[in-house]
Structure 1
Amino acid sequence: MRRLAIAVPLALLATLLATPAHADPGPLKVPTRQGYGGAVTSVDPYASRVGLRVLKAGGNAVDAAVATAAALGVTEPFSAGIGGGGYFVYYDAETGKVRTIDGRETAPAAMPRDAFIDPETGEPYNFSPELVTSGVSVGVPGTLATWQRALRRWGTLPLDRALAPAEVLARRGFRVDATFRGQVKQNLERFRAFTSTRALYGRLPKVGSLFRNPDLADTYDLIADHGPRRFYDGALAREMVRAVRRPPTTSSTQLPVPKGFLAVGDLRGYRTIDRAPTHVEYRGLDVYGMAPSSSGGSTVGEALNILENHDLAGATPEQALHLYLEASALSFADRGAYVGDPDFVDVPLDTLLSDEYAAERDELIDPGSAMTKPVGAGDIPDTENVETTNLTVADRWGNVVEYTLTIEQTGGSGIVVPGRGFLLNNELTDFSPVYDEADPNRIEPGKRPRSSMSPTIVLRDGKPFVAVGSPGGSTIITTVLQILLNRIDLGMTLPQALRAPRATQRNTAAVLAEPGFVDRYAEALEALGHDVQTYEDIFTGTQEIGAATGIEFGPGRLLTSVAERDRRGGGSALVVRPR
Structure 2
Amino acid sequence: MREAIRALGAVFFAFVLAFPAAGAQKERPAAKPPGTAIASAHQLATDAGLQVVREGGNAFDAAVAVSAVLSVVEPVSSGLGGGGFFLLHDARRGRDVFVDAREVAPSSVTPQSYLDEKGELDRDRATNGPWSAGIPGLPAALVHIAGRYGRLPLSKSLAPAIRIAREGFPVYARLADGYRSRAKVMERYPGTREVFLADGDAPEVGELLMQPDLARTLEALARNGFDGFYRGEVAARLLAGVEAEGVRWTAQDLAGYRVREREPLRFEYDGWNVVTAPPPSSGGIALAQMLQMLEPWDLAKLPEPQRVHLTVEAMRRAYRDRTFYLGDPDFVRVPSRLLASAAYAAGQRSTIHPDRATPSALLSGAPTPLEDEETTHFSIIDAEGNRVAATQTVNLTYGSGFIPRGTGVLLNNEMDDFALRPGTPNAFGVMGYEANAPRPGKRMLSSMTPTFLVSDSRVAVLGTPGGSRIITMVLLGILGYADGLAPQQVAALPRYHHQWLPDVVQTEAGALAEPTIAALRAMGHTVATPPPAADGRSSSYVWGNLQTVMWNREGNVLEGGSDPRNPVGSAKVLPAAPRAR
Q: Which has the larger radius of gyration?
A: 2
Q: Select the residue among 451, 454, 479 that pairs with 1:485.
A: 479
Q: Select the residue among 399, 402, 408 that pairs with 2:386.
A: 399
Q: Is residue 352 from structure 1 mapped to residue 339 from structure 2 by the alignment?
A: yes
Q: Is residue 291 from structure 1 mapped to residue 285 from structure 2 by the alignment?
A: no
Counterpart mapping for 1:153-172 below 5 A: 153-172=148-167
Partner of 2:498: 505
**For 2:555 and 2:141, how far apart are their aligned partners in 1?**
33
In the superposition, relative to structure 1, how do residues 164 and 39 fare at CA in structure 2: closer, same or farther (>3 Å)?
A: same
Counterpart mapping for 1:147-546 below 5 A: 147-202=142-197, 203-247=201-245, 259-374=246-361, 375-376=363-364, 380-381=370-371, 385-434=372-421, 439-461=434-456, 465-488=459-482, 490-508=483-501, 509-520=503-514, 521-535=516-530, 543-546=541-544
Partner of 2:51: 53
Does the aligned pair in 1 maintain the 2:238–2:407 contact within 8 Å? no
Does the aligned pair in 2 maintain the 1:134–1:260 contact within 8 Å? no
Does the aligned pair in 2 maintain the 1:563–1:572 contact within 8 Å? yes
Counterpart mapping for 1:22-61 below 5 A: 36-61=34-59
Does the aligned pair in 2 maintain the 1:309–1:362 contact within 8 Å? no
Does the aligned pair in 1 maintain the 2:125–2:131 contact within 8 Å? no
**For 2:556 and 2:62, how far apart are their aligned partners in 1?**
19
**For 2:82 and 2:156, how far apart are their aligned partners in 1?**
21
Partner of 1:67: 65
Q: CA deviation at 1:572?
A: 0.8
Q: Output one character per residue of 1:338-363: Cα deviation in whole Å (capped at 9) or x when no partner.
A: 11001111100000111110000001
Q: Output one character per residue of 1:119-145: Cα deviation in whole Å (capped at 9) or x when no partner.
A: x4432202xx33211221111110011
Per the normalisation by structure 2, the TM-score is 0.86
Does the aligned pair in 1 maintain the 2:127–2:415 contact within 8 Å? no
Q: CA deviation at 1:334?
A: 0.9
In the superposition, relative to structure 1, how do residues 207 and 304 fare at CA in structure 2: closer, same or farther (>3 Å)?
A: same
Does the aligned pair in 2 maintain the 1:435–1:443 contact within 8 Å? no
Q: CA deviation at 1:79?
A: 1.0
Q: CA deviation at 1:36?
A: 4.1
Q: Output one character per residue of 1:88-110: Cα deviation in whole Å (capped at 9) or x when no partner.
A: 00112223321111100101112
Q: CA deviation at 1:518?
A: 4.2
In terms of mean alpha carbon deviation, does 238-247 or 72-81 score higher? 238-247
In the superposition, relative to structure 1, how do residues 465 and 206 fare at CA in structure 2: closer, same or farther (>3 Å)?
A: same
**For 2:119 and 2:410, how far apart are their aligned partners in 1?**
29
In terms of mean alpha carbon deviation, does 67-76 or 237-246 score higher? 237-246
**For 1:438 and 1:568, how far apart are their aligned partners in 2?**
35
For 1:260, give the aligned amino acid.
Answer: V
Does the aligned pair in 2 maintain the 1:77–1:422 contact within 8 Å? no
Q: Output one character per residue of 1:187-220: Cα deviation in whole Å (capped at 9) or x when no partner.
A: 2111211111112113322322222111111111
Q: Is residue 122 from structure 1 mapped to residue 119 from structure 2 by the alignment?
A: yes
Does the aligned pair in 1 maintain the 2:466–2:544 contact within 8 Å? yes
For 2:471, give the aligned amino acid.
Answer: I
Q: Is residue 549 from structure 1 mapped to residue 542 from structure 2 by the alignment?
A: no
**For 1:260 and 1:368, how far apart are their aligned partners in 2?**
52
Q: CA deviation at 1:314?
A: 2.5
In the superposition, relative to structure 1, how do residues 542 and 228 fare at CA in structure 2: closer, same or farther (>3 Å)?
A: farther
Q: CA deviation at 1:535?
A: 5.0
**For 2:249 and 2:530, how far apart are their aligned partners in 1?**
35
**For 2:284 and 2:215, how far apart are their aligned partners in 1?**
35
For 1:56, give the aligned amino acid.
Answer: R
Partner of 1:30: none
**For 1:398 and 1:524, how far apart are their aligned partners in 2?**
45
Q: Output one character per residue of 1:432-481: Cα deviation in whole Å (capped at 9) or x when no partner.
A: 121589621111111100000000011114x8621100001111001100
For 1:80, give the aligned amino acid.
Answer: S
Q: Select the residue among 125, 133, 138 that pairs with 2:133.
A: 138
Q: CA deviation at 1:542?
A: 7.5
Does the aligned pair in 2 maintain the 1:52–1:64 contact within 8 Å? yes
**For 1:328 and 1:72, how far apart are their aligned partners in 2?**
30
Q: CA deviation at 1:558?
A: 0.9
**For 1:524 and 1:145, how far apart are their aligned partners in 2?**
50
**For 1:356 and 1:570, how far apart are their aligned partners in 2?**
43
In terms of mean alpha carbon deviation, does 302-311 or 339-348 score higher? 302-311
Q: Output one character per residue of 1:409-436: Cα deviation in whole Å (capped at 9) or x when no partner.
A: 1111111121121201111110012158
Structure 1, gaps ≥5 residues long: 1-34, 248-258
Does the aligned pair in 2 maintain the 1:564–1:570 contact within 8 Å? no
For 2:370, give the aligned amino acid.
Answer: I
**For 2:103 and 2:186, how far apart are their aligned partners in 1?**
22
Q: Output one character per residue of 1:21-64: Cα deviation in whole Å (capped at 9) or x when no partner.
A: xxxxxxxxxxxxxx941011111111111111112222111100
Partner of 2:13: none
**For 1:89 and 1:132, how far apart are their aligned partners in 2?**
28
Q: Select the residue among 99, 102, 106 that pairs with 1:101.
A: 99
Q: CA deviation at 1:499?
A: 1.0
Secondary structure of the equivalent of 2:113?
coil
**For 1:309 and 1:344, how far apart are their aligned partners in 2?**
35
For 1:524, give the aligned amino acid.
Answer: A
**For 2:53 and 2:223, how far apart are their aligned partners in 1?**
23
Identity, % of aligned pairs? 37
**For 1:231 and 1:492, how far apart are their aligned partners in 2?**
42
For 2:121, give the aligned amino acid.
Answer: P
**For 1:410 and 1:519, how far apart are their aligned partners in 2?**
30
